[in-house]
Amino acid sequence: MLQRRFGGAEAMRELVDHVLTCGAMRNVTFQVIPTKTRLHACLDGPVRLLQTVEGRRFAYSEGQENGRLIADLKEVTLLQQRYDTLRSQALTPEDSRGLLERLRGELEL
């Protein structure tokens, strides 16, 4: 998405700057899946993994026309495994930041 340059150079500069700012926060980890990666572990769509203070784990999966809270431990565990695999397929946080900084530099041309 970041390499598609939606909205022109100024909009892309603002987007990349925002992502870099958010990624600099100590409670945020930002990783990019390289565009050359054709398949990855979370192609079925976005998922949010949640854990309560008591340690109960849930997942929330959202599609275009519905959303679903998942409490079944087997399903939540499978989604956690997919997320872990996705993170292993992504660039490291440092390499992801470097990629964004390079993209930002290209937008100045």
Average pLDDT for the chain? 87
Query: What pLDDT sits at residue 64?
Result: 79
Q: For 47-97, how does the pLDDT look when each residue is reduced to its tens digit (9 = 90+)?
A: 899 999 999 999 998 887 889 999 999 999 999 999 898 888 899 999 999
Domain ranges of the chain: 1-32+91-109, 40-90
Query: What pLDDT sits at residue 62?
Result: 85
Taking the whole predicted model, whether its pTM rises above 0.85 is answered as no
DSSP 22-83: HHTSTT-------TT----TTTT--EEEEE-TT--EEEEEE-SS-EEEE--HHHHHHHHHHH
Confidence of residue 5 (pLDDT cuts 50, 70, 90): low
Query: What pLDDT sits at residue 52?
Result: 96
